[in-house]
Amino acid sequence: MRRAAILCLALLSPVGWANPPDPFNSPQWDFVHQRFLKAEPYQFDGKVKVEAPPEAEDSLNVPIAFQVEGLEQVQEVVVVADLNPIQQVLRFRPKAMRPHLAFRMKLQQGSPIHVAAKTPDGIWHVGGVWVNAAGGGCTLPSVGTSSGDWTKTLGKVSGNVWQRPDGSNRLRVRVMHPMDTGLASGIPTFHIENLNVLGADGQVLAELDLFEPISENPMLSFDVANQSQFKLEGRDNNGNRIQAEVSP
Amino acid sequence: MKHLWGLACLAFSVTVQAANFEYPFTPEQVAPDTYVLEGKTEDFSKENGGFIVNAAYIITNEGVIVIDTGSSRRFGEQQRALIEKQTGKKVIRVYITHHHPDHFLGNQAFRDVPIYALPETIQAAKQEGEMFSNNMYRMIGDWMRDTHLVPPTQTAKLGTETIGGHDLEVLAFQGHTHSDLVLFDKTTGVLFSGDLVFHNRAATTPHANIQQWQHSLETLLKIPFKVLVPGHGKVTKDPAPIAQTRAYLVWLQTTLQEAAASGLDMTEVMATPIPAEFKDLALAQSELRRSVAHLYPALEAEQLKPAKQAE
């Protein structure tokens, strides 16, 4: 009854109409909306499906996957962890592949993970999950930096391509990189900033902006059409280039 | 209205009960001189206070031998008080089977008693104990109050030793962790397997090596025990829990390997349906999710090939 009343109020109030409340009740949602969605119109939408375990077993490597189904021409997908000290996780612009992505991230504490997909009408469609975590993931040095052996493998790419039962192909790549957040004492921020996936002919299939919360040695899974030869191009915030060719 | 009052009273009584922080210990005699405090086959929670593990004790002529001290200071203290009240004897020795927090964070209550463990277990308890106990505060809350890390103090020697009329054999295995102590009481035929064996509860794998674990289970089957005390789940007089743990680990390993070979990402593997054979294992789906986090990264990396790269 009370819920129904609140719902009515929300429908009547123009503010409630314009800015639907966050289903996770995140104290940071308004800020996230202002800062990362540029205060543009949004709606919570079940078409943006986000998968993550309810409990993070390893706060340094929390697996997240999203799939946007039934929305045409997704321009950009933004992932934000509301309660992380660095909130923005990644931005993904699928040019010629499905708006699906799987990756791993660092969590400093339990947090809602919001995934917002923008359609050509300028509306953000938002989905999310809540992940509980023991935390501490963002303020720890990377394994590579603390062991000192990251220089040997920096920017090295490995990958593979699989045919999936639904006829699409799955591209998985791992790029060796410390992805230091800058929040561990005495270790400056050092992370991959851009990563583009191209077809063998040079056509850009997707663009990715990665931020500090992405886990060390990022592991990414893409759902592509039926291509099986790919190029990966990118760079980190120190200007180191990433260039590789991945095939099955 | 009456109904509401009933609810309010119920809520109140639950709060009061939890505020006492009394573990519901009921010692079960499993063999002559041998008792087990059987924990629930649940995950850690503020309701169970971490009583999710089997702790045991053997009453000998010289005094009482304790096997594992539970999840918290309160656990160890209440376990010791119960033993001393029931037996009128002193605790003379503690064995810790491995370094997971539900098995040794009660050590604080046994500071004046020699606490035995395998050397790698002592080292791992020192290294990871603080992290474990911090996480335990998050999971079971005030049950953990004033719990401090007390690593085992004595190195357990392999082989048989007679204590107070009981011939006790210490065996060293690997697989659940890097070092898993198993205690075999040859006098009563009771095998204390620690977490190498789970019974009707999905196995946990944060430090597991499945291949070594399988090998250890094969060896355990050759021991002529009459009673099996698993780390979690009901005590039995047959080796069925060993077979169950083996079968679960085979399924887990095969599932993860096949998933990696088909290019799945972690969240997809975590959603694998649990087969009918393991439906009755408590926590099967949540332990599968945890095991994916522990074991999948190495398996998926094996499926990747170095890309062609400009040097």
CATH of the domain at B173: 3.60.15.10
H or E, element range at A230 = strand A230-236
Token pair of B134 as six digits? 């911090």
Q: Which of chain B's residues have a Cβ under 8 Å away from the Cβ of A65?
A: 265-268
Answer yes or no: is B274 within a domain. Answer: no
Q: Assess if residue B306 is contained within a domain.
A: no
Query: For position B18, what pLDDT does the model report?
Result: 52
The burial of B144, by beta-carbon neighbours within 10 Å (0-12 exposed, 13-18 middle, 19 or more buried), is given as buried
The CA-atom distances, in angstroms, between A118 and each of A59, A68, B162, B185, B197 are 28, 10, 73, 66, 50
pLDDT value, residue B310: 73
On whether residue B212 sits in a domain, the answer given is yes
Nearest to A53 among B270, B294, B305 (CB): B270
- Alpha carbon distance A171, B241 (integer Å): 41
pTM (predicted TM-score): 0.91
Contact B307 A221 (CB under 8 A): no
pLDDT of amino acid B206 = 96
Residue A155's pLDDT is: 94
Residues of A with Cβ-Cβ distance to B283 under 8 angstroms: none
Each residue's pLDDT expressed in tens, for chain B with a length of 311 residues: 345 444 444 444 444 445 689 999 999 999 999 999 999 999 999 999 999 999 999 999 999 999 999 999 999 999 999 999 999 999 999 999 999 999 999 999 999 999 999 999 999 999 999 989 988 998 999 999 999 999 999 999 999 999 999 999 999 999 999 999 999 999 999 999 999 999 999 999 999 999 999 999 999 999 999 999 999 999 999 999 999 999 999 999 999 999 999 999 999 999 999 999 999 999 999 999 999 999 999 999 999 999 999 76
Contacts of B287 in chain A (CB under 8 A): none
Pairwise CB contact (< 8 Å): B309 & A245? yes
Given the DSSP bridges, would you call strands A76-81 and A111-118 parallel, antiparallel or unpaired? antiparallel
In tens, the pLDDT along B244-281 reads: 999 999 999 999 999 999 999 999 999 999 999 999 99
Is B245 among the domain residues? no
Instruction: Give domain status of residue B5, yes or no.
Output: no
Kindly state whether residue B283 falls inside one of the protein's structural domains.
no
Hey, what domains does chain A have and what are their CATH numbers?
Answer: 22-246 (2.60.40.2470)
Record: contact A245-B307, CB cut-off 8 A: yes
Alpha carbon distance B139, A224 (integer Å): 41
Block means of pLDDT (10 residues each) for chain A, length 248 residues? Answer: 44 56 96 98 98 96 98 97 98 97 96 98 98 84 84 95 94 97 94 97 97 98 96 97 96
> Where are the strands (E) in B32-128, listed by range?
34-37, 55-59, 64-67, 91-95, 115-117
Q: Is residue B299 part of a domain?
A: no
What is the pLDDT at residue A8?
42
Angstrom distance (rounded) from CA A132 to CA A109: 7
> Which tokens hold the place of A200?
């063998």
B158 near B182, Cβ under 8 Å? Answer: no
Nearest C-alpha neighbor of B170 from the set B91, B65, B54: B65
Sorted by sequence, the CB contacts under 8 Å of residue B205 that are 6+ apart come out as B176, B252, B287, B290, B291, B294, B295
User: If you search the block for the tokens 């003379």, which residue do you land on?
Assistant: B92
Interface test with B, best of A221, A231, A233, A235 (most B CBs within 10 A): A221
Residue B286 lies in a domain: no
Q: Which domain holds residue B228?
A: 23-238
- Predicted pLDDT at A144: 84
Interface test with A, best of B266, B291, B294, B311 (most A CBs within 10 A): B266
- Please tell me which of the candidates B263, B297, B309 has its beta carbon nearest to residue A157: B309
The domain total for chain B is 1
